[in-house]
Amino acid sequence: MRGVVRRFRSLPIRSRLAMLVAAAVAFGVAAVSVTCWFIVRGKLYEQVDDDLKAQSGPVRAGTVSSVISSCTTTPSSDQLLPGSMSTTDYFQVVSANGKVCVFGNSAGVVEVTDTEKEAARSPNPNNGTLRNGTDSDGNPVRVLTSALVASEGPNQQLVAGYSFVVAIPLKDTNSTLNDLALLLLLVSGIGVIGAGAAGLAVARAGLRPVDKLTEAVERVARTEDLTIRIPVEEDSEDEIARLSRSFNSMTASLANSRELQQQLIADAGHELRTPLTSLRTNVELLARSEETGRAIPPADRKALLSSVTAQMTELAALIGDLQTLSRSDAGTSADRVQVVALQETVDAALRRARLRGPELTIRADVEPWYVRAEPSALERAIVNILDNAVKFSPEGGTVDVRLKDGELTVRDHGPGIPAEELPHVFDRFWRSPSARALPGSGLGLSIVARTVQQSGGEVSLTPARGGGTVATLRLPGAPTPPPQLD
């Protein structure tokens, strides 16, 4: 059985669908055919039974004396019953001990069973027993066994010790049923074959979009061309259309992801080239000084070493930002997400910001708010926002930080961001022309945007009244911790 199932599953979908359709139709046709055959059989037998009862009623009475006389001597072969009766039917009387009296117009002798003997021993005028039987030549007959009565009417007199048997041959009935069975079998076979062919045609037509999808997937796997799209009717909402739209969306996302990766690699290479070139130049100057024995003046040497240190720090920061960004691109793992007290994360970020800008005044108004996020990534995002505010604030300036109802605002009093540059502030490696001389990789705000989006929030930068910039970060959450934190 398992081997048959395994072979069935190894067949193409078209073949399986055609076979399933054919099997379903075959089952339905077989059920209808069998039901039809039994209904017709019941009707035919009902008609035969009615004929038997019509034959039996008028002939049972009025012949008692001749019947008994015949059966007490020897079985008669030429005893005639009164009335007009068909000579193709069977008429006989059976005694309690199984003795048979056959009448002259009977078509033959019906084989006696216990039914006839029991009816002779215990006669009942209201009961007639119907059964299938055979005659002495083995031909099938329908038999009605009833009590033998001496007279008809309300005062019926039963003749004890004898039963009356009437039978009709079933040759024509069985022939009709056999012809019907053959016809139903032929129609069923044609129906199953037609259903199989129709199922195969329907499977081919229905799976044509799947074939296109398969070809597209194989072509993408073979050529890695993510620009391939499957045409889909706009108003179609069936499963194939939904699958095609999902495939198109997937390839578009993959193409966009590949483009972002390529852009990231290109931008990272461009950003790394400048500090690496400068670092290489400084190292070569130091090496040449050692090789030639020409000492570099102490002040120049100190400045050169300071430049090397700054460039190495810049490289380390850039690599760290790239690693953070690559982790955010890969998505947030469910096991790293937890309930975070946002006010505590903001306080930790404020402590770091005060160390980096000791000459600034940072005013904070923080209220409790709990969110679901990755703690380290969320702290890094808030630190980046505060670092930007510290970086662009004038010496002795003020940075205002406020957390209320899940909205964190950071306002600086720096030069602000031109309106035409605001749409680009969250792009990777984008840096304002006025800020390119300042340290930084251009990835800080991009990391902020990715982290906030993955936490279900949103972030924006807008000009502040009176100058400066307002960074607004909104995260879904609640002012009280969930029960599991209690």
User: Is the C-alpha dihedral spanning 334, 340, 342, 346 positive or negative?
Assistant: negative
DSSP 110: B
The pLDDT of residue 387 is above 70 = yes
State the average pLDDT for the chain: 77
Fold of 335-485: Heat Shock Protein 90 (3.30.565)
Mean pLDDT value across residues 77-98? 64
* Residue that wins the pLDDT comparison between 254 and 1: 254
CB-CB neighbours of 77 under 10 Å: 12
The Cβ-side half-sphere exposure at 419, using a 13 Å CA radius, reads 0
Residue whose C-alpha is closest to residue 356's, from 386, 330, 401, 315: 386
Predicted pLDDT of residue 411: 92
CB-CB neighbours of 352 under 10 Å: 14
CB neighbour list of residue 123: distance below 8 Å, 6 or more residues apart: 147, 148, 158, 159, 160, 162, 163
The pLDDT of residue 46 is above 50 = yes
Q: Which two tokens stand for residue 154?
A: 């309300």
How far apart CA 53 and CA 410 sit, in angstroms, is 106
Lowest-confidence range among 176-180, 287-291, 401-405?
A: 287-291
Predicted pLDDT of residue 74: 44
How far apart CA 50 and CA 333 sit, in angstroms, is 83
Residue whose C-alpha is closest to residue 380's, from 422, 305, 327, 423: 327
* Residue type at 410 in one-letter notation: V
Could you tell me the end-to-end alpha-carbon distance of the chain, in angstroms, rounded to an integer? 58
Reported residue count of the chain is 486
- The share of the chain scoring above pLDDT 90, in percent, equals 10
Residues 459 and 448 sit within 8 Å (Cβ to Cβ)? yes
Mean pLDDT value across residues 239-250? 79
How far apart CA 425 and CA 452 sit, in angstroms, is 15
Domain ranges of the chain: 14-176, 257-328, 335-485
Rg (CA), the chain: 51
Phi, psi of 401 (to 5 degrees): -120, 130
The Cβ-side half-sphere exposure at 132, using a 13 Å CA radius, reads 9
How far apart CA 27 and CA 106 sit, in angstroms, is 45
Q: Which two tokens stand for residue 162?
A: 């004898």
User: CA geometry: angle at 395 spanning 393 and 399, to 5°?
Assistant: 40
User: 224 pLDDT band (50/70/90 cuts)?
Assistant: confident
* Residue type at 151 in one-letter notation: S
The pLDDT of residue 326 is above 70 = no
Q: Is 268 helix (H, G, I), strand (E, B) or coil?
A: helix
| Most confident listed range (237-246, 312-321, 325-334) | 237-246
User: 39 pLDDT band (50/70/90 cuts)?
Assistant: very high
CB neighbour list of residue 462: distance below 8 Å, 6 or more residues apart: 422, 469, 470, 472
pLDDT digits (tens, 9 = 90+) for 57-86: 655 544 555 556 655 544 444 444 443 445
Phi, psi of 425 (to 5 degrees): -65, -25
How far apart CA 313 and CA 317 sit, in angstroms, is 6
How far apart CA 342 and CA 336 sit, in angstroms, is 16
Task: Report the top-level CATH class of 257-328.
Answer: mainly alpha
* Residue type at 290 in one-letter notation: E
In SS3 terms, 119-154 reads as: HHHCCCCCCEEEEEEEECCCCEEEEEEEEEECCCCC
pTM: 0.46
CB burial of residue 199 (10 Å; 0-12, 13-18, 19+): buried
Adjacent-strand bridge partners of 407: 404, 474
Residues 370 and 478 sit within 8 Å (Cβ to Cβ)? yes
CB-CB neighbours of 225 under 10 Å: 12
How far apart CA 138 and CA 141 sit, in angstroms, is 9
* C-alpha separations of 434 from 193, 201, 307 in Å: 80, 69, 22
Long-range Cβ pairs for the range 172-177 (8 Å, 24+)? 173/44, 173/45, 173/48, 173/142, 174/140, 176/40, 176/44, 177/37, 177/40, 177/41, 177/44
pLDDT digits (tens, 9 = 90+) for 152-210: 555 666 777 888 888 889 988 999 999 999 998 898 888 888 877 877 777 777 777 77
